[in-house]
Amino acid sequence: MASKQLRTYTREEVAKHNKEDDLWIIIDAKVYDLTRFVGMHPGGIAALTDEDIAGQDATDQFFALHRFEVLLKPQYQRLVIGNIEGEEAALHPPSIGDISKVPYAEPTWLTEGYHSPYYTENHRELQRAVRKFTDEYLIPDAQAREEDGKRPDQKVFDKMAELELHAMRLGPGKHLQGRTLMGGIVKPEEFDYFHELVAMQEMVRCGARGYGDGLLGGKVIGLPPVLNFGSEELKARVVPDVLAAKKFICLAISEAHAGSDVMGLQTTAVKSEDGQEWIINGSKKWITNGTFADYFTVGCKTEDGFTVILVERGPGVETRQIKTSYSTTAGTAFITFDNVRAPVGNTLGEEGGGIFVMLSNFNHERWVMCCASARAQRGIVEECLKWTSQRKAFGKPLNSLATVRAKLAAMIQRAESVQNWLENITYQMCNMSYKQQASKLAGQIALLKSYSTSCAQETARDAVQLFGGRGITKTGMGRLIEHYHRTIPFDALLGGAEDVLSDLGVRQALRSMPHDARL
Ligand SMILES: Cc1cc2nc3c(=O)[nH]c(=O)nc-3n(C[C@H](O)[C@H](O)[C@H](O)COP(=O)(O)OP(=O)(O)OC[C@H]3O[C@@H](n4cnc5c(N)ncnc54)[C@H](O)[C@@H]3O)c2cc1C
């Protein structure tokens, strides 16, 4: 199809088209003919026929009320008839892969002119590739799935598998051997926790909390026990299909009676008469990806304590969706096990040693959540900086008010402190064995997670305040703020509730108090 011929106009020519039946406006040096659209304008006809709008430059008024993405929609692009003579567009929407120029919208290491001791050129290369992938594949699917509540598109899972993003999200380790990571950008033996942090923080930019968990959050927490404690036979059978996103896995520990108090779980596993199988009975609650999982990493009460068993979907396993305040794309499930049989070979770790398996999983899970939380709050800082510059009240931008700037300051301080502490802990992880991490970092990670999620909740509250009514409106200017504010409590609960983790962090510190320390 031939593209439309655009003409140039003078501002005087545009000004003549200022009636409801002949209405043009200028936005950012482009001329829009709104004559056929005026009756369909969601904001009403009067907003467009106003004498400050009809035939005039309405750039400021447009951006005070609309996001850039509105202008980019094909139905509105079709209304463009030309450009203003001698003028160029001054505003540019972000393109795929762009780094934001808004202050604090990117971590320091990605901001021009700043430095970091932690990131190499290889981390930067990975960042560029994952950003492009996120912009191209994740963001459009995230927005669509948040709307229809279905799990992420299999094409997205397949693309992630091709790039080995499923494997990279499990951190450094043997599972990366022989894989081509992100088209060969990172060598498996060189992949470290900063690579994982980069991949995680880039993907979080899709700005959809439920979708983020739908993107195989269950695998991130459910597969490590198989990798670390499964038999070679079990790993060979399960891991390749899960990392290829042909099969799905989840971690099923929590129950209606046992959330923070893991020791209270009541699902039982007893051996069959011939000793070859476990027979499992009980239920699990709020299990991420459970609705579509093929495998369940299940915490069970057994004769001599707790045991973790890999259960495969089959007779006696039932999953049903739990509707929470984030979208059903996460596949949050209530699961019942009714005389479900699993081979004894599916035991993960020692029989009776399940608590060790479950606890050893927590550090990485919580650290991943810190990566996500730090990046998500930074996204809110960017939204607020843009909004308070665009939005005028009493004739001035919101950011001309000292109270507004004070809120922005607090948001920036929180986002920066969380990221900086996270990077420090990540550096420790890169230089410690798994065992050292378990003894030296469990407390630090717990404290960081509870700090990060409490910062995030304060930022969510401040952001709603800055956006006013739009901060609680699902569509339009404040849509990301509404989403963030609605879903932020999840981070403060999952992987250990905020209060529980603060307490854990201090208890760990107290264990290391020197006996001879006195004031
Ligand atoms: C959407 C969603 C997804 C989830 N995904 C999974 C999953 O994939 N797999 C899985 O196994 N579980 C999952 N969970 C469960 C999650 O781990 C639990 O919700 C969490 O452990 C808290 O347990 P609870 O909700 O039963 O709260 P409770 O344990 O009843 O605690 C309620 C509150 O009491 C306080 N509290 C409790 N104990 C203490 C303490 N010792 N010190 C101080 N304060 C305390 C805290 O404020 C806490 O928030 C998910 C939950 C949700 C909501």
Q: Which secondary-structure segment (H or E) carries 363?
A: helix 354-390
| pLDDT higher than threshold 60 for residue 1 | no
- CA 493–ligand 1 middle distance (angstroms): 5
Q: What is the pLDDT of residues 262-281, one digit of tens each?
A: 889 999 999 999 999 999 99
| Residue 294 main-chain phi, psi, to 5 deg | -95, -30
- CA 369–ligand 1 middle distance (angstroms): 15
**Cβ(200)–Cβ(173) below 8 Å:** no
| Token duo for residue 171 | 């951190």
- What is the mean predicted confidence (pLDDT) over 15-31? 96
Helix axes 354-390, 434-467, angle to 10 degrees: 30
The residue contributing the CA closest to ligand 1 atom 26 is 259
The residue contributing the CA closest to ligand 1 atom 16 is 494
Task: Report the pLDDT value the prediction gives residue 102, as an integer from 0 to 100.
Answer: 97
| pLDDT higher than threshold 70 for residue 45 | yes
Ligand 1 nearest-atom number relative to CA 299: 11
The residue contributing the CA closest to ligand 1 atom 6 is 287
| Token duo for residue 5 | 């011929």
| pLDDT higher than threshold 60 for residue 50 | yes
How many Cβ atoms sit within 10 Å of the Cβ of residue 493?
A: 14
Distance CA 169, CA 337 (A): 29
Ligand 1 nearest-atom number relative to CA 495: 17
Q: What is the pLDDT of residues 51-97, one digit of tens each?
A: 999 999 999 999 988 999 899 999 999 999 999 999 999 998 889 99
- CA 199–ligand 1 middle distance (angstroms): 27
- CA 14–ligand 1 middle distance (angstroms): 60
Mean pLDDT, the chain, rounded, equals 95
- Cα–Cα distances (Å) from 346 to 45, 221, 238, 280, 349, in that order, read 66, 17, 10, 12, 9
- CA 259–ligand 1 middle distance (angstroms): 4
**Cβ(231)–Cβ(304) below 8 Å:** no
| Token duo for residue 374 | 């730090």
- CA 114–ligand 1 middle distance (angstroms): 39
Q: What is the pLDDT of residues 205-245, one digit of tens each?
A: 999 999 999 999 999 999 999 999 999 999 999 999 999 99
DSSP type of residue 452: H
Task: Report the pLDDT value the prediction gives residue 5, as an integer from 0 to 100.
Answer: 80
**Cβ(247)–Cβ(295) below 8 Å:** yes
- What is the mean predicted confidence (pLDDT) over 416-431? 98
How many Cβ atoms sit within 10 Å of the Cβ of residue 501?
A: 25
Task: Report the pLDDT value the prediction gives residue 203, as an integer from 0 to 100.
Answer: 98
Task: Report the pLDDT value the prediction gives residue 2, as an integer from 0 to 100.
Answer: 52
Task: Report the pLDDT value the prediction gives residue 152, as an integer from 0 to 100.
Answer: 97
Give 409: exposed, middle or buried? Use CB within 10 Å, 0-12, 13-18, 19+.
exposed
Longest dimension (CA), the chain: 91
The residue contributing the CA closest to ligand 1 atom 1 is 286
Q: What is the pLDDT of residues 292-321, one digit of tens each?
A: 999 999 999 999 899 999 999 999 999 999
| pLDDT higher than threshold 90 for residue 399 | yes
Interstrand relation of 392-393 and 317-321 (parallel, antiparallel or unpaired):
unpaired
Task: Report the pLDDT value the prediction gives residue 361, as an integer from 0 to 100.
Answer: 84
Which of 242-246, 361-365, 381-385, 500-504 comes out lowest in average pLDDT? 361-365
pLDDT range class, residue 359, cuts 50, 70, 90: confident
Q: What is the CB < 6 Å shell around ligand 1?
A: 218, 250-254, 259-261, 286-288, 324, 332, 490, 493-494, 497, 499-500, 503
Mutate to test the pocket of ligand 1, among 500, 502, 507 (most ligand atoms within 8 A of CB): 500
- What is the mean predicted confidence (pLDDT) over 389-418? 96
| pLDDT higher than threshold 70 for residue 3 | no
- What is the mean predicted confidence (pLDDT) over 352-360? 90
Helices (H), 120-222: 121-133, 139-148, 154-163, 165-168, 193-204, 209-214, 217-222
Encode 308-339: b = buried (16+ Cβ within 10 Å), e = exposed: bbbbbbeeebebeebeeebbbbbbbbbbbbee
- CA 332–ligand 1 middle distance (angstroms): 14
Strand partners of residue 311: 296
With tokens 């992100």, the residue in question is 182
Among 379, 389, 407, 413, smallest CA distance to 481 is for 379
Ligand 1 nearest-atom number relative to CA 324: 1
DSSP type of residue 93: P
With tokens 């259960």, the residue in question is 311
pTM: 0.94
| Sign of torsion over alpha carbons 47, 52, 56, 61 | negative
| pLDDT higher than threshold 90 for residue 116 | yes
- What is the mean predicted confidence (pLDDT) over 435-460? 95
- CA 482–ligand 1 middle distance (angstroms): 23
| Sign of torsion over alpha carbons 54, 55, 56, 58 | positive
